[in-house]
Amino acid sequence: MKKFAVTLCLGAFVIALVAGPAAARPQYNKEWQAKYVEGNKNEAFVKAVGEAKCNVCHDAASKSKKDRNPYGMALSKFLNKEGFDKSKGDAAAAKKWILEGFQKAEAEKAADGKTFGEKLQAGSLPGA
């Protein structure tokens, strides 16, 4: 029984080391929904966002949430861990920082030559 307990504790320790911390930032999604979805009269866009969920920014073909689509990569230039950590104690500052990141990402160009802002204005998912 003692061997089993030691093995179990050792296994849990190894899993904790390998797993690493989660880096999910639900504030990004909350602010994105508030800016682009809430009150949007384009039902097809709202439905597409609802179906895409996390894949608005993340790569749908990947199992890892570390993999982003082109829009997610553009956002990650402006919304990073350092900035998030600096602003996370102040809700107003965090919201301002996140919205500025969205605005900057809107100016970035997608592979089709349109900006992500133009894609959003047209009612299409920016990472598609």
pTM: 0.76
- Cα angle for residues 81, 85, 86 (degrees, 5° grid): 120
* pLDDT tens per residue across span 57-111: 999 999 898 999 999 999 999 999 998 898 888 999 999 999 999 999 999 999 9
Inform me whether the pLDDT recorded for 14 exceeds 50.
no
- Contact by Cβ (8 Å): 56, 125: yes
The pair phi, psi for residue 115, each rounded to 5°, is -80, 160
pLDDT for 2 equals: 59
Residues 6+ away with beta carbon under 8 Å from 72? 56, 57, 58, 59, 127
Q: What is the DSSP letter of 68?
A: B
